[in-house]
Structure 1
Amino acid sequence: MNKSILVILTSAFVPIVSFAQFNTIGDVASRPSIKTIKNPSEQTVAPKDSVLPSDTASAEIPDRMEEKEERLRTYLSVSFPLKKIQINSKFGMRMHPVYHKYIMHNGIDLHARHEDVLSMLPGKVLRVGYDSRSGKYVTVQTANYTVSYCHLSEQYVKTNDYLHAGEPLGLTGNTGASTGEHLHLTTKKDGKAFDPTILLNYVKNNK
């Protein structure tokens, strides 16, 4: 189970590269299209059917390669959700501290004290909301995976924003069904929850 999730996590990044290029936050200034027509004798770029090399084209190739590599490094990166990881409550059945019932804990609780929460993976903000159980939360989607960050005191993002890995999305807090400040993480694949420590280990091995 764990190995299959890690394999699918790795392969999930492939479509993200193209997806992310069209969803990055920020204003893009529109630039007028300027085309200079040269005298035929001044042409420096060889025509398509010429056997001569194009100096202009060859000069652009290294720059484009470097740009693509930098883009890949950005979109294939991963991050821990907090600067320091300390698990206070594990994934699985437990006695709930608020409801006082033995129920499933579908995530993990991380120790936190008024600090920025970072997106673990690059992806689109699927939901920003509040409910009585999770408090203020942010859910980020990466391919067929979602990561929910719960019990926040502040939410920095809005629905449909695009986040890079390591980008702040909120501030830890104690909202919802919580007895003290912490960060609750819920990770899902195709809508089904799995142990977030699998993702934490993936980050540890690939960061």
Structure 2
Amino acid sequence: MTESHPSDATALGKCKGPHTVIIARGDHIRHFTVRPWLATAAACVALSAVTAYFGATTYLVLRDDLMSAAVSRQARMQQAYEDRISALRFQVDRITSRQMLDQQLVENKVSELLNRQAALAGLNSKLAPLLPRKAEAPSPAPLETTPIRGVAGALGFQPETERKPSGDGLSRADQADRAFVALNRSLQSVETEQLSNLTRLTSDAYRTADGIETALASAGLEVDRESGEATGGPYLPSSHASDFDTKVEELGEALDRLQSVRTQATSLPLANPAAGSPVTSTFGVRTDPLLGRPALHAGIDFRASVGAPAVATGKGKVVSAGWNGGYGRMVEIDHGNGYATRFAHLSEIDVSEGEEVKAGQIIGRTGNTGRSTGPHLHYEVRKDGSALDPLRFLKAGRMLRDFL
């Protein structure tokens, strides 16, 4: 039983003083006093114990679920990291493969361009022996782009680096493609220029050969074509031959013809033996100045003072150099193909028999020796011993001045 003081309220909850608890068991009676703070502390302890019990019970119940969730979260994080690493490794492999492919493409393109450049150089070597002195072989136009061997290095192309865009937004591979396009255009322009030069040179060779033949024909001189059979017609290349090879063949044919007619023309005595001196007597029948009777004048006479130079009118070999009757001091030159020239009435002879001379070389000095009425140069042209009109040769020489 519990005892309380009369002044206290009957309700335990409203009691401000301590409570006395009496426990009677038979003859034994015990009592103790319960203070309010002690009751409150005991209640708090009991509540804490109950809370701890339920918390421990809940933890034990949910521990497996929490551990499973943590393990799953760690596994998901690990899987995400592995996926990221695999993605990065794949990207690296892809970039490396792309760079290796780009490098292979660059090397192939460089090799192709080098082969084309070597081919162009070889074409010039084919042209060199064909062209005469006045017709130079066409040379490739200078490339305005990066040299072929330095394209990859100039672009900084390396297989182990990533393709970084340049300032204009283009990757190095794109820059390499642009450079190769420019080089291809440049080489194509060189090839086009070479074909154009071949066409021009062929046309010039035929035009020059025709001009030489026309000039010689107008002077009554014929050119031997050195052809066994009469053939001709336009040149139609076969389908399997390249444009350059066919044009080289056509140019070679044109240059052969030009060389042939030029060689024959230069072997003819076409120069003037006394340039600047007037002709005082022409070829043909005239009145003999000493006898006063008609006579054949086998050459032409140039008015010249004693000591004026007399020059060879073409290359040849001196076959006579000395006194020759009415010719006085005379020089005769054999020019081949039956042609010969004579220079008479010289006061001085500057060559000797057997000597090789060329056109324009001084062979003596004009004078008044032999059957002559005054200082002058008597000049003759002969074909197989027969006298020809030298004016025809002088006319042809003037016409051929621009061709030879």
TM-score by length of 1: 0.64
Distance 1:100 1:131, change over 3 A: farther
* Structure 1 gaps, min length 5: 15-68
Contact 2:218 2:396 in 1 (8 A): no
Provide the C-alpha distance between the structure 1 equivalents of 2:351 and 2:390, rounded to a whole number of angstroms: 22
Out of 300, 313, 334, which is 1:141 matched to?
A: 334
TM alignment of 1:13-52, pairs within 5 A = none
- Report the counterpart of residue 351 of structure 2 in structure 1: 157
Query: Is 1:130 paired with 2:323?
Result: yes
* Structure 2 gaps, min length 5: 1-215, 227-258
Provide the C-alpha distance between the structure 1 equivalents of 2:397 and 2:293, rounded to a whole number of angstroms: 33
Query: Is 1:188 paired with 2:382?
Result: yes
Provide the C-alpha distance between the structure 1 equivalents of 2:396 and 2:346, rounded to a whole number of angstroms: 24
Contact 2:219 2:395 in 1 (8 A): no
Provide the C-alpha distance between the structure 2 equivalents of 1:177 and 1:82, rounded to a whole number of angstroms: 20
Contact 2:380 2:387 in 1 (8 A): yes
- Report the counterpart of residue 217 of structure 2 in structure 1: 3
The Cα shift of 1:11 comes to: 5.2
- Report the counterpart of residue 294 of structure 2 in structure 1: 102
Contact 2:300 2:390 in 1 (8 A): yes
Identity %: 31
Which residue identity lines up with residue 84 of structure 1 in the other structure? G
The Cα shift of 1:103 comes to: 0.9
* Bigger proportion of residues as strand: 1
Provide the C-alpha distance between the structure 1 equivalents of 2:356 and 2:224, rounded to a whole number of angstroms: 20
Provide the C-alpha distance between the structure 2 equivalents of 1:87 and 1:189, rounded to a whole number of angstroms: 22
Q: Name the structure, 1 or 2, with higher relative contact order (CA <8 Å, separation 6+).
A: 1
Determine which structure has more spread, i.e. the larger CA radius of gyration: 2
Which residue identity lines up with residue 3 of structure 1 in the other structure? A
Query: Is 1:168 paired with 2:362?
Result: yes
The Cα shift of 1:119 comes to: 0.3
Provide the C-alpha distance between the structure 1 equivalents of 2:360 and 2:224, rounded to a whole number of angstroms: 20
Distance 1:11 1:141, change over 3 A: farther
Provide the C-alpha distance between the structure 2 equivalents of 1:206 and 1:85, rounded to a whole number of angstroms: 20
Provide the C-alpha distance between the structure 2 equivalents of 1:6 and 1:125, rounded to a whole number of angstroms: 26
Which residue identity lines up with residue 275 of structure 2 in the other structure? K
Distance 1:125 1:104, change over 3 A: same
Provide the C-alpha distance between the structure 1 equivalents of 2:377 and 2:355, rounded to a whole number of angstroms: 21
Distance 1:81 1:110, change over 3 A: same
Alpha-carbon displacement from aligned partner over 1:28-68 (angstroms, at most 9, x marks no partner): xxxxxxxxxxxxxxxxxxxxxxxxxxxxxxxxxxxxxxxxx
- Report the counterpart of residue 202 of structure 1 in structure 2: 396
Provide the C-alpha distance between the structure 2 equivalents of 1:136 and 1:109, rounded to a whole number of angstroms: 15
3-state SS of paired residue (1:201): helix
Which residue identity lines up with residue 97 of structure 1 in the other structure? P
The list of structure 1 runs, each at least 4 consecutive aligned residues, that deviate by more than 6 angstroms after superposition, is: none
- Report the counterpart of residue 308 of structure 2 in structure 1: 115
Which residue identity lines up with residue 327 of structure 2 in the other structure? S
